[in-house]
Structure 1
Amino acid sequence: MQMSEGVEWALHSCLSLTWAEQGEAVTAAKLAALYELPTAYLNKQLQALVRAGILISSSGPRGGFKLACDPGQVTVLDVVTAIEGRQEAFRCQEIARKGPGGRANVNYREACVASQAMRRAEMAWRRELAAQTLADLKGQVESRQPRTPELTRQQLAKP
C-alpha cells in the first residue's frame, strides 16, 4: 500500500500547528515554507483537514489554519483518512468465483482466505494508526528533539 505524499505533509503540518502560539492562525504559505513544499498543493491537503474537522480555517489578514480540537483527540488515522479517504486498501473483486471450484452463490469477499487475510492486515494497520494521536507524536518529537517546538514557533513568527 502506498499513501500519497499529502499524508506526510498533513501530519507534519498538524504537528507544527501544535507548537504555534496559542490562538494564532498559521497560513498555508508559512507551513509550506517550514518544509519547502508547494503552497498551493499543501493548501489542498489543509482544506481536506478542514473538511474532516481536524483544522479550522479563517480568512483575512490574520487568517490561516488552527487545530480544531486538542491534539489528543486527533488520531493519525483521522489524518490519513482525511487525505486518502475511507475506502479499503484491498478491494476484493471476488475472482475466486471464476476460479477452480468457484460457485456463483458464494460471497467470496467473506469466504475467500486471501480476502480475509488482507482485511485482517488492514484492520491491524488501522488499529495501530487509531491508537496514536497527534499528542502522542508531539510528545515523541519533543522527547527526541526538544528544540523543535521553539524552532517551529520562531519560523512561524517570521513575516
Structure 2
Amino acid sequence: MRMSEGVEWALHCCLNLAFLEQDEAVPAVKLAAFHELPTAYLTKQLQALVRAGIASSVPGPRGGFRLARAPEQISLLDVVVAIEGTEQAFRCEEIRQRGPGGGASGGIQVACTIDVAMRKAELAWRQALAAQTIADIAATVGRRYPSTPVRVRNLLATAPA
C-alpha cells in the first residue's frame, strides 16, 4: 500500500503543532516553510485535518492552524483517514469467478481466500495505526531528540513567516 505524501506532511504538522501551546496557531505558510513544502498543497492537507476535526483554523492576524483535540486523542489512523479517506486498500473484484474454473464452487458463495487474507492484513495495519497517537510520537521524539520540541516551538512561535 502506498499512501500519498500528504499523509507524511499532515503527520509532521500534527507533531509540530503538538509541541506548541494548545491555543497557539501557526500559519500554513510557516508550517510549509518549516519543511520546505509548497504552501498551497500543504494547506489542502491542513484543511482535510480541519474537516476531520483533528485541527482547527483560527482567523485573524495571529491565526493559522492548531490541533483541535489533545495529541493523546489523535491517532495516526485518524490522520491517515483524514488525508486518504476511508476506502479499503484492497478491493476484491471476484476474478476467481471468471475464466476456466469460474464458478467452480458449485454455486456456493464462499469468501474469496485472498480477499479474507488481505482484509485481515489491512485490519492489523489499521489497528496498529489506531493504537499510536500523536502524543506517543511526540514523546518518542522528545526522548530520542530532547532539543527538538523546544527547537520546533522556537521556530514556529517566533518571527512571522
Q: Tell me how far apart the structure 2 counterparts of residues 99 and 158 of structure 1 sit (CA, whole Å).
A: 65
Which residue is equivalent to 2:36?
36
SS in 2 for 1:57: strand
Q: Tell me how far apart the structure 2 counterparts of residues 135 and 46 of structure 1 sit (CA, whole Å).
A: 18
Which residue is equivalent to 2:131?
131
Q: Tell me how far apart the structure 1 counterparts of residues 152 and 13 of structure 2 sit (CA, whole Å).
A: 11
Maintained 8 Å contact 2:22/2:67: no
Q: Tell me how far apart the structure 1 counterparts of residues 56 and 14 of structure 2 sit (CA, whole Å).
A: 11
Which residue is equivalent to 2:49?
49
SS in 2 for 1:154: helix
Q: 1:115 to 1:145 in 2, by over 3 A?
A: same
Maintained 8 Å contact 1:97/1:106: no
In the TM superposition, what whole-angstrom CA distance separates every residue of 1:56-94 from its partner, at most 9, and x where no partner exists? 102211111110011001000000000000000001111
Matches within 5 A, 1:44-83: 44-83=44-83
Which residue is equivalent to 2:159?
158
Give the letter aligned to residue 62 of structure 1. R
Which residue is equivalent to 1:120?
120
Unaligned runs of 5+ residues in structure 2 are none
Report how far residue 40 of structure 1 moved: 0.6
Q: Scaled by the length of structure 1, what TM-score is found?
A: 0.94
Q: Scaled by the length of structure 2, what TM-score is found?
A: 0.93
Maintained 8 Å contact 1:26/1:65: yes
Report the RMSD for the aligned CA atoms in angstroms.
Answer: 1.4
Maintained 8 Å contact 2:22/2:66: no
Please list every run of at least 4 consecutive aligned residues from structure 1 whose deviation after the TM superposition is greater than 3 angstroms. 104-107
Q: 1:32 to 1:98 in 2, by over 3 A?
A: same
Maintained 8 Å contact 2:23/2:66: yes
Question: Aligned pairs, how many?
Answer: 157
Unaligned runs of 5+ residues in structure 1 are none
Q: Tell me how far apart the structure 1 counterparts of residues 113 and 13 of structure 2 sit (CA, whole Å).
A: 39
Establish whether residue 149 from structure 1 lines up as the match of residue 121 from structure 2: no
SS in 2 for 1:88: coil
